[in-house]
Amino acid sequence: MSGALAGALLGAGLFCAWWSCWPRPPRGPGRRAARRSPLGVCRDLLAAAAIPAPAAALPLACAAAAALAALLVAGTTGVPVLALGAALAAGWAPVALLRARARARRADRAELWPDVVDHLAAAVRAGTSLPDAVCALAVRGPVALRPVFARFAAAHRASGAFEPELARLVDELADPVFDRVAAALRMTRQVGGSDLGATLRTLSAHLRDDLRTRGELRARQSWTVSAARLAVAAPWAVLALLAGRPGALDAYATGAGTAVLLAGALVSALAYRLMLRLGRLPAPRRVLVTAAGSAGAA
């Protein structure tokens, strides 16, 4: 026991020494202001998944799913730790579904953005004004995005204000690619410049190269990710099958059984997160959300 304790203390000391080698950013007021509120994170997730619901609906859905799963598993098995695990899994399920929907929606739209940028570049080259170029996407843009740009065109005709309507369009689309396009349009509108067409053509070529590279990487790693998910889910599928036999779960109602289940859940969660971390492709981030929001407020 003393040897294990000494090894744990040595490992903790080595980790602290390694952690001290990396500089930490200062905890200033700017860093606190950059943190999003929980409701803001929920609002962004719902917007990315195109779910027209208030931000408070997501925590309520998670709580309702967790409570329902806990009641069902507790009434079926009578094992508290299994009910706790089911509650945690069911409570996380709405967030996981929204993230999956947002990823699928982002992947579908990623194939459309090069055409959108090409249409904008052609309109700018032809001498069309920036508001008219964006409004023309309601007719000439990709079919899946035409309703969004049609709403922008109607709002712009009603108000005549380009930048506030562009900020609302950025919030509605919630896409990092259009964030960059909107930033270029806003900067050209404010300070002028003749490089917008070249910038849009460069962005279009970059987007097509990125789509090609990501498609190749996803095709190569899909079977590895599927096999890892199957390996993580297999022990819990066997446990679910054993739950149908009377008395099969009595051993897990004891303290030792609870420890085994908790250790298995911890190892499964860590292995799954490590698998996702190692196999995750870097996704573009929305770095201009604050700028869009401030423009919309103005």
DSSP assignment, residue 145? G
Residue 115 pLDDT > 80, yes or no?
yes
In degrees and rounded to multiples of 5, residue 249 shows phi and psi of -105, 10
Q: Which of 268, 261, 202, 265 is nearest to 232 (CA)?
A: 268
3-state class of 260 per DSSP?
A: helix
State residue 30's pLDDT score: 41
Cβ–Cβ < 8 Å for 218, 139:
no
Q: Which of 195, 153, 145, 212 is nearest to 173 (CA)?
A: 145
Whole-model pTM? 0.60
State residue 29's pLDDT score: 40
From 62-76, 96-110, 121-135, 187-201, the region with the lowest mean pLDDT: 187-201
In whole angstroms, give the CA distance from residue 29 to residue 272. 35
Residue 295 pLDDT > 90, yes or no?
no
Tokens 């204000």 — which residue?
161
- Chain segment 167-226, per-residue pLDDT in tens: 888 888 877 888 888 888 888 777 766 677 788 888 888 888 888 888 888 777 777 778
State residue 7's pLDDT score: 60
Residue 150 pLDDT > 60, yes or no?
yes
Question: Which pLDDT band holds residue 26 (cuts at 50, 70, 90)?
Answer: very low
Q: How many CA atoms lie within 13 A of 224 on its CB side?
A: 10
Structure tokens at 113: 């953005």
State residue 67's pLDDT score: 92
State residue 292's pLDDT score: 39
Comparing 249 with 267, the larger pLDDT belongs to 267
**DSSP characters over 55-95:** TTHHHHHHHHHHHHHHHHHHHHH--HHHHHHHHHHHHHHHH
Question: Which pLDDT band holds residue 6 (cuts at 50, 70, 90)?
Answer: low
Please give the average per-residue pLDDT across 91-111, as a whole number.
85
Question: Which pLDDT band holds residue 280 (cuts at 50, 70, 90)?
Answer: confident
Helix axes 80-110, 57-77, angle to 10 degrees: 140
221-238 b/e (C-beta count within 10 Å ≥ 16 → b): eeeeeeebeeeeeeeeee
From 117-121, 133-137, 232-236, the region with the lowest mean pLDDT: 232-236
Share of the chain above pLDDT 90, in %: 5
Tokens 């004891």 — which residue?
254
Residue 44 pLDDT > 70, yes or no?
yes
State residue 233's pLDDT score: 83
CB within 8 Å of 286: residues ≥ 6 apart: 44, 174, 175, 176, 179
